[in-house]
Structure 1
């Protein structure tokens, strides 16, 4: 069969108005695609052989890097690692308070907007917010000018011998009333401490376990606070920890650590009860326009109470939750310094505590993992101290979720994630030295009960809504297994974007540019060439936001021909032929020679391929619907349309209008010329 020239058949039409033709925008040129990809972190990582951060995906809590092998690594932290400056740049967290031009006091750099009163009317005691959502609390009286010390503002004698301390944290604040004397404790104003409360874009409601929450219009908790807590200073009067006889005989520094080295030295700051302090929990009452707590009067005014007494209701962001639970009833929600795991007791001359048991919990949200295929996952916790130099096992477990109201023994354990045999943090007290270090939990292929990667994969797929991980000593009866870990833990996830079903799937019936898809075999598209062009636009499962990496994708094409009552594969192809294209690229392929008069169908799906260490794999999206077509080279070709103006065909970057309201687009009717081709012979 040979192709003839254009026949001289011309039709001229006078059109009062032109319909808009739905044309597929032209495919980007190879040069423009190369230029775009050259700017991506993934391409720069491949070119340099070094990981490159994807800056558009950086947040206060997470960081994403593109790796040379085509994968990505997300590191999600339980505490904020950075904060946004007013100019949009990133800066380090710095909760040091400073006096501001408007008279208020606030931290230099935090992930929330936080304002403390600079003194004056108590109604402006503090304001906490993000963007258009904020809440405000007021003190029932006048506030003096505060004394500033680091992150803490102290308002002296808000009541007689009672100080108010407001401490900025990276995610919120902590409020502590310091009752310094028995005479101050008898003040009737301390029997019910009430603060005025108001909110913008939020509603303040009772929280779990006697706490409070500030929720948005959809009921999502933006800020959370546990029940209040009060404690005295009895722990400050405890005698030094006793030495065992064996320890006395050994002598030397290592058998009797200094205060700074004491394994259980978790007191020393008036933000949490310490060892030996008497404590009580104070449920928060939320009523119209106010929140209040009623202190335990037996503790506040008891004959054995040691002053000062501290009364503390903290509030913070609900982005990522963490808590430490103790078997003696204490809980440390959103703790912000190293805490313990294991039995805090006494052994070998080292004193930690009275024999209570500690467990630590960290909770993660799946926001950054939606639409991703998880290849590998690692949980990291930073061990800062161990009871002695002998290694002991520590477990990582998945549990039910936590909240500000979670108490001992904690949520139900669901699965084992891993364990490690480790001792770290005592540095030169051990030989060889054992500096503090990150303890990493990553699946060991030789241990079938370690399920962290598969669990995080289910987490990314939406099968788990929140991921809560617990650190605990394997042997909770052994005080030597006690360890201390930092408040910041990390979940590191290696992933690739999951491919999504392609769009714009269709066949170009002749030599034009517009593709069509007929989804019924009884009404196939007539195609006038024996080598039709098919197309599909590759997609990721979750559409990338502006600036996000767009994946590395191919389009797979698959064509079948009707053979009696069955369909037989006759052709397949991938585009691009080499390498990969980003999300949204329109891929086109020309089929091999097809038989005239045959009934065909074709479909497409998006593919991605990944390499990670010695592993590799392919990922496929679901296939598109079948597109049916019939080859008929004797049918008339699609006409070529030309215009005498003033209207022009819209292109990808230009769609020039003519006329306007009350203004004619053209003084004379436009002439459109349709030029037809004869069929091939």
Structure 2
């Protein structure tokens, strides 16, 4: 069986007698050496009959736990040696540390604070010395005069049964003198102990047994008040309540209520409610507790329930009770007691003998409280300054302005009951005294400000003032006072001059774009005006957010600035006081030289020559040079991932602004190693390469063997086998580093502290860490560049810019009967003819376009490839199909061994198209992009196809407008064959033959951007620059 406090009793056998769970802990009781019979149940009592000869065990369960009582029926049973010592083994998480270790010195020591083991007691069945009154209710005769397993009768002999701990076993030693006393009346009851949560909220005291605690004794017959006619007992009952629900509140009313379950008298008798100043506990007795009762009753209730009817409700309510509850809002608990109005011992029930519901159920004792919370005031500000509660801490404010500024008090109101409040501000008025302005119906959680502000005329510079606020919900109010002072000092424009001589104001060019310089900002004016300055704001006059730097008492500060444009530059600066008053602008003008070219530029096209502005030729070790360069016709440096590197003298200082970039093509399954670094003694100053499969740029905090770094990573995994441009930038003035991939910013971070100068060799293909070279690059590196200044977007974008690979004007000169000359000439098959229509816009030379006849067929092949098709490239042409036959036809292709890598022309669905084959094999599929509209025979259009090797995106443009994109599903491959104009290659045979006009075909390294595509369509030149812009 179980109770609301999770008590589980044995169903019989040698297992645990009881398990009690509370607050996540469990205490297990096992009667050692005793096999329990199957119990019978009657209400809340389980009876284990004849657990010993003529001895029954009764276990009562209530909401607080359980209690067990042995009923010894005969003298023979009392003589059983088994009753000499009762042993209960304790286990479970409810044991304390010393209890679990078997070192407890008392039963209560053996368990945690969650549980309580009460004292053991015994009583016999001796009746009262005098017979009961004839008017005594039978129920009271049975419960108060007759001993039962629930408790002793009024005449019973009661003795203690000592309890001790033997390891983890509780030992109860029954009184042999009571068991063997011939005067004892059977049955004799042995109450070994009980297990209950420690914080039980009710108890009784009894004047007739003033030293007896009822914390865990005689609790089965309700909460008793008065005398039952025994002539001995006089009970009071106490109830304890937590005040947490109204802690810190204002109690406006309170009601104590309980159901009367029994009374002797059928006439109303009075029961008093008292505030008891002593908290309940396991030592609560009459002797200790009765003096803590208030001298007079808070309130009396007169009623009766002699017929034990259900639901006879009693309520005690008065202003005195509310006052007592309100006075205890700062305490953890409050205790109230019920007593008879008359405690004269009698035998006729006139003493108000009653029993009340002790449970926590619907009819049990309750304390109902009505309370109000004073509205809270928070977020007090005067303008933006937080409230100060003393003059010494008063924040400075200013009334400077036109018209004069009136400081604005503001508060936030919070009412726990969501009542609306009245907010009243009291503040100085001109000429002395105060004004009060009130705002009604302010909602809880809302902010309220003094709309008019405090009049500037009432608060003069140099003075300290206060304003106060009162917030009332109609029942309670809260107040607060704020101090502030007025300081109307107006700062002078600060001066700003070059601190390191890098950019003096002397009408001469200095430094260069991207190179930092130091500038000193200094407050101006007399000593008092200077001392009032707490902050400077500064930045270029060209716009953008100003940077701020704090100061103390107007002390000068030095800042670093990197000019982003050549020619005239201006820095502006402003001084601020603590009140927020700002000066007029101070400025410095200076001239900046143009941006320096890279101080190091290693093309790595067959050797380590540096073509930058410095002379830092690189020496190669274990590097191989291959013709498999980033662009057709160029070689490249290959690094083996274990020992290959190039080194040069250091071109930069790593403690000032710099930028570094390279084209890289990592090999293997994942990108590893570092492509570029510069050595210190123990470690590199920076790394640019790969980390855990992503491109990264690292700045190292100091030159030591074990040191942290600031690392930036690319947003996507690095593609292997693909050429990618990577760049790292350090801006000393901004204290920031940035990583770019293919010209696109990946991430930035702020560096903490000043960087150090790695003065060792510049390394390509490795780094230095913990005093050794490592992180060797595996793959190819080309076009390494280093700037001794900030690298700007134009610098970084230039690394990934497109460029001409081959250009085919395809203008046919009828006077010479030949094509326009080109750098990678075409060998023609068939006979291309002069154009039959002028293209709009026409060729720059005015020559007609080339017309190819698919019946001949007519086509041209170059001597070599134009672009690396495993990298990013673009292709373009003006086309005019003569016929649309429902077959693929290519105006421009580049052939592999078995098939063309790409084709730009028309599709079998008669749409303009750009396609790329997946592989150089027979019957390979292709990734295809088609125009949204059908192709039109006899009409000139401009077609452009682009392939981005990093994203594998294939895009088609018709007359400068994107037609959509698709992704190549495989790793791109390089077609090593010729450029084909008017045809392609399919299954190692001539295919995709074009019929119609072609003009101004071109191939490009890299992806054409939107401007270049527009220019190519409009001007036949992607890099067109107007005369006005030149």
Pair 1:408 & 2:304 matched:
no
* Aligned-partner Cα distance in 2 for 1:133–1:342: 38
Query: Counterpart of 1:595?
Result: 456
Query: Counterpart of 2:305?
Result: 425
Query: Counterpart of 2:222?
Result: 338
Structure (1 or 2) with the larger CA radius of gyration = 2
User: 1:167 offset after TM fit, Å?
Assistant: 2.5
Query: Counterpart of 2:827?
Result: none
The correspondence of residues 171-570 of structure 1 with structure 2, limited to 5 A, is 171-198=64-91, 200=93, 203=96, 212=108, 221-235=113-127, 241=132, 243=134, 257=137, 259-260=138-139, 270-286=149-165, 288-312=167-191, 313-329=193-209, 332-333=214-215, 335-345=219-229, 353-399=230-276, 400-411=278-289, 412-415=291-294, 416-420=296-300, 422-426=302-306, 437-443=312-318, 451-462=320-331, 466-478=334-346, 479-486=349-356, 487=358, 488-500=364-376, 502-509=377-384, 516-517=386-387, 520=392, 523-526=395-398, 530-539=405-414, 551-552=418-419, 554=421, 556=423, 558-561=425-428, 568-570=433-435
Residues 174 and 315 in structure 1, CA contact (< 8 A), matched pair in contact too: yes
Residues 255 and 315 in structure 2, CA contact (< 8 A), matched pair in contact too: yes
CA RMSD of aligned residues (A): 4.4
**Can you list the C-alpha shifts for 1:87-108, whole angstroms capped at 9, x where unaligned?**
xxxxxxxxxx2xxxxxxxx33x
Structure-2 change in CA distance of 1:550 and 1:377 (3 Å) = closer
Structure-2 change in CA distance of 1:180 and 1:269 (3 Å) = closer
Residues 263 and 385 in structure 1, CA contact (< 8 A), matched pair in contact too: no
**Can you list the C-alpha shifts for 1:276-320, whole angstroms capped at 9, x where unaligned?**
433223354346423332222222232233333222222322334
* Aligned-partner Cα distance in 1 for 2:160–2:24: 32
* Aligned-partner Cα distance in 1 for 2:374–2:162: 46
User: 1:120 offset after TM fit, Å?
Assistant: 4.1
Pair 1:620 & 2:471 matched:
no
Residues 557 and 603 in structure 1, CA contact (< 8 A), matched pair in contact too: no
User: 1:260 offset after TM fit, Å?
Assistant: 4.2
TM score, norm. by length of structure 2:
0.41
**Can you list the C-alpha shifts for 1:578-617, whole angstroms capped at 9, x where unaligned?**
15415xx54444234622663574556673535xxxxxx3
Query: Counterpart of 1:609?
Result: 473
Residues 124 and 156 in structure 2, CA contact (< 8 A), matched pair in contact too: yes
Query: Counterpart of 2:672?
Result: none
**Can you list the C-alpha shifts for 1:161-211, whole angstroms capped at 9, x where unaligned?**
4333332211211122232332222222322223222453663899xxx98
* Aligned-partner Cα distance in 2 for 1:152–1:264: 16
Secondary structure, counterpart of 1:143 in structure 2: coil
* Aligned-partner Cα distance in 1 for 2:29–2:176: 24
**Can you list the C-alpha shifts for 1:38-63, whole angstroms capped at 9, x where unaligned?**
xxxxxxxxxxxxxxxxxxxxxxxxxx
**Can you list the C-alpha shifts for 1:486-513, whole angstroms capped at 9, x where unaligned?**
123222221112444x33221335xxxx
Secondary structure, counterpart of 2:325 in structure 1: helix
* Aligned-partner Cα distance in 1 for 2:23–2:711: 41
Query: Counterpart of 1:33?
Result: none
Residues 224 and 316 in structure 1, CA contact (< 8 A), matched pair in contact too: yes
* Aligned-partner Cα distance in 1 for 2:38–2:239: 34
Residues 231 and 273 in structure 1, CA contact (< 8 A), matched pair in contact too: yes
What is the aligned counterpart of 1:128 among 16, 20, 24? 20
Structure-2 change in CA distance of 1:270 and 1:475 (3 Å) = closer
Residues 562 and 600 in structure 1, CA contact (< 8 A), matched pair in contact too: no
Structure-2 change in CA distance of 1:525 and 1:437 (3 Å) = same
User: 1:226 offset after TM fit, Å?
Assistant: 3.3
* Aligned-partner Cα distance in 2 for 1:475–1:354: 11
* Aligned-partner Cα distance in 1 for 2:111–2:379: 41
User: 1:323 offset after TM fit, Å?
Assistant: 2.2
Query: Counterpart of 2:685?
Result: none
Structure-2 change in CA distance of 1:383 and 1:506 (3 Å) = same
User: 1:229 offset after TM fit, Å?
Assistant: 2.1
Residues 143 and 155 in structure 1, CA contact (< 8 A), matched pair in contact too: no
User: 1:524 offset after TM fit, Å?
Assistant: 0.9
* Aligned-partner Cα distance in 2 for 1:372–1:301: 60
**Can you list the C-alpha shifts for 1:251-278, whole angstroms capped at 9, x where unaligned?**
xxxx675x34769657585222234433
Structure-2 change in CA distance of 1:473 and 1:234 (3 Å) = same
Q: Give the paired residue count.
A: 483
Residues 234 and 276 in structure 1, CA contact (< 8 A), matched pair in contact too: yes
Query: Counterpart of 1:37?
Result: none
TM score, norm. by length of structure 1:
0.60
Structure-2 change in CA distance of 1:133 and 1:568 (3 Å) = farther
Structure-2 change in CA distance of 1:241 and 1:370 (3 Å) = same
Unaligned runs of 5+ in 2: 100-105, 359-363, 494-535, 546-696, 698-709, 714-737, 740-744, 750-1030
* Aligned-partner Cα distance in 2 for 1:634–1:554: 42
Structure ranking higher on relative contact order (CA contacts 8 Å, 6+ apart)? 1
* Aligned-partner Cα distance in 2 for 1:554–1:643: 45
* Aligned-partner Cα distance in 1 for 2:382–2:6: 55
Secondary structure, counterpart of 1:620 in structure 2: strand
Query: Counterpart of 2:1003?
Result: none
* Aligned-partner Cα distance in 2 for 1:142–1:319: 31
User: 1:140 offset after TM fit, Å?
Assistant: 0.8
User: 1:141 offset after TM fit, Å?
Assistant: 2.0
Residues 421 and 471 in structure 2, CA contact (< 8 A), matched pair in contact too: yes
User: 1:460 offset after TM fit, Å?
Assistant: 0.9
